Structure 1
Amino acid sequence: MDRHFTLLVGSVLGASEYVADAIAETLRARGYKATILTQPDIADIDEDSTWFICTSTHGAGELPDNIKPFAAQLEGEDLSDIEFFVVGLGDSSYDTYCYGAIAMETLLTKGGAKLMAEPLHIDVLHHPIPEDRAVEWLEPILDTLD
């Protein structure tokens, strides 16, 4: 039970932060350690932690400004020791739906990181309280880790 999760948040309007808070609360309730970074920097991440990317998409499919420097740090890095999960928030009425989450997943897998579960892409048109959808998705995954 000493698994540590680091939630790396990309957010413009705050919805991704709410989702990260709900995920962290769920993880802590299961006895895990969870740290949330809203200005992620590779130097601040516990090297033994499992990463949880939680990001929205901004503008024309861009990453939110607060996570762009972190994404740049990952370019060309060997990430083969990293295990990660991805939760993306988006609006399916845009053709760039969840592009921020897709970009982070691509960057991590290109560096050799291991995706631990199918990514969750939350459509805010169908899930007005995205944190509820995230917890619903996470619970059965945690059952496999316990």
Structure 2
Amino acid sequence: MAQLNILVGTMYGGALDVAEQVKPLFESAGYSVAIKEQPTLEDVEGDALTLFCLSTTGSGDIPGNLVPFVRALKDQSPSLTGLKYGLIALGDSSYGDTFCGAGRTLDALLEDLGAQRLGERLEIDAMETFMADDAAVPWVEEWIDRQDLKVA
């Protein structure tokens, strides 16, 4: 069975909730899904499809649980040319220039390391969408279809 890792960066549980809400969509598409709140570099090696789901904290900062992972990416600069991923960024547009800053920062870092993002990044604005999964679920359904990710 094909593997999908959902790597979560969250402070208050919003991004984890989104990950849990979209997990069944991937299972229905034929994937074995692992949600990881303390990801390591091993989670982005190989050919597993990856979905990053992370919120932004402070002034565009990476959530604390994801900091060691991002630090390892920066310090070790592994080649991620085999990584295919999607990214859901949660943020609050009232913070201006730092809106979805964590997701944008991670996306740029992954691109610099050779990873291939499939489709566009989803940015969910807390000022417009009260429940993030209301935006994430239809996006994931469309992402699976547009990227032809069904394996079942």
Which sits farther off after the overlay, 125-134 or 43-52?
Answer: 43-52
The answer (yes or no) to whether the contact 1:56–1:98 under 8 Å persists in 2 is yes
Separation in 2 of the partners of 1:116 and 1:11?
22
* 2:121 corresponding residue in structure 1: 119
AA at the equivalent of 2:86: F
Separation in 2 of the partners of 1:59 and 1:73?
21
1:141 aligns with 2:143: yes
The answer (yes or no) to whether the contact 1:53–1:104 under 8 Å persists in 2 is no
AA at the equivalent of 1:112: G
Instruction: Give the number of aligned pairs.
Output: 145
AA at the equivalent of 1:145: L
RMSD between superposed Cα atoms in Å: 1.3
- Superposed displacement of residue 132, structure 1: 2.0
* 1:79 corresponding residue in structure 2: 80
- Structure 1: runs of 5 or more not aligned: none
Separation in 2 of the partners of 1:139 and 1:56?
20
Which sits farther off after the overlay, 2-11 or 99-108?
Answer: 2-11
* 2:51 corresponding residue in structure 1: 52
Deviations 1:55-98 (A, max 9, x none): 00111111001001101111222111111110000011112100
- Structure 2: runs of 5 or more not aligned: none
AA at the equivalent of 2:105: A
- Superposed displacement of residue 48, structure 1: 2.5
List 4+ stretches of structure 1 deviating above 4 A: none
Separation in 1 of the partners of 2:90 and 2:143?
19
* TM-score normalised by length of structure 2: 0.90
Whichever structure has more helix as a proportion of its residues is: 2
- Superposed displacement of residue 46, structure 1: 6.5
- Superposed displacement of residue 30, structure 1: 2.1
- Superposed displacement of residue 145, structure 1: 2.2
AA at the equivalent of 1:77: P
Separation in 2 of the partners of 1:43 and 1:142?
24
* TM-score normalised by length of structure 1: 0.93
The answer (yes or no) to whether the contact 1:57–1:97 under 8 Å persists in 2 is yes
Separation in 1 of the partners of 2:100 and 2:49?
21
